[in-house]
Amino acid sequence: MTDTTREMRFVSWNVNGLRAVMKKDPSFTEILETLDADVFAIQETKLQEGQVALDLPGYHQTWNYAERKGYSGTAVFSREEPLRVIRQIGCPVADDEGRVCALEFDRFWFVDVYTPNAQDGLKRIDVRLEWDAWYRDFLCGLAAEKPVVTCGDFNVAHNEIDLKNPGPNRGNAGFSDEERESFTKLLDAGFTDTFRLLHPDVEGAYSWWSYRMRARATNAGWRIDYFLVSNDVADRVTSASILDEVFGSDHCPVALGIEL
């Protein structure tokens, strides 16, 4: 580390429709201000350009919209202006769905991702796995330049500890063997799951709950929202948390503290 190293706070949240969250109490902007992140990433904005105007003093806004209306979409709000932004990874599938905001800063890359859902019956598993392979290669390319922090809704519970009911859900979208193995390949390519780094045995820690069957009230959830970092900076992680006290979406935010 150098004298310029400082602890940074990152937050990621799948808002499942930003316009809806903006109308709730507390509003999205109030939640963002309260969480006080250096970089705040969101997924599933479900917006087209010009549909919202956020007043976020002190933050630079980076957006990526899906071509399809009311679908997918990502955004990153950063106190520091990025040196460069990449919005597509070159993948032949799903690259027009606004799924990535990659921001280059002086000392690291920050990448916000909304991974394609394999869907019921694994109807979109081929698209999902193709995306995963391209995204893995994309991150490895960035990591060759400088450390990477990537976050978002990866749409997979990696291990049985990461969801309430692993048995009945095995083979379902988000807990299929194929998706879990694909996530393992991403970690094996040089990345660390920061929450499990600091909390390897914590059970009942989830970031998404179905709107059905009172899932959130009974904590019948899944951990599918992650912060991953390049292995070479994993020792700089100071905190990794799931902010399940924050409502407004079927997901809750996740947070990372790291010295960069």
Q: Active-site residue 153, yes or no?
A: yes
Task: Return the axis-axis angle of helices 125-143 and 177-188, rounded to nearest 10°.
Answer: 10
Q: Nearest 5°: phi and psi at 78?
A: -125, 140
What is the length of the chain?
260
* Candidate list 59, 114, 135, 206, residue with the active-site label: 114
Closest to 12 in 3D by CA, of 163, 229, 215: 229
| Cβ proximity of 257 and 7 under 8 Å | yes
How far is it, in rounded angstroms, from Cα 207 to Cα 223? 5
| Cβ proximity of 44 and 16 under 8 Å | yes
* Candidate list 153, 162, 225, 244, residue with the active-site label: 153
Cα of first residue to Cα of last residue in the chain, in angstroms, is: 8
Looking up tokens 């990345």, which residue turns up?
Answer: 191
| Cβ proximity of 116 and 45 under 8 Å | no
Residue 8 host element (H or E): strand 7-14
| Cβ proximity of 157 and 206 under 8 Å | no
| Cβ proximity of 9 and 38 under 8 Å | yes
CA distances from 170 to 15, 96, 160, 178, 226 (A): 26, 30, 9, 11, 20
Catalytic residues: 114, 153
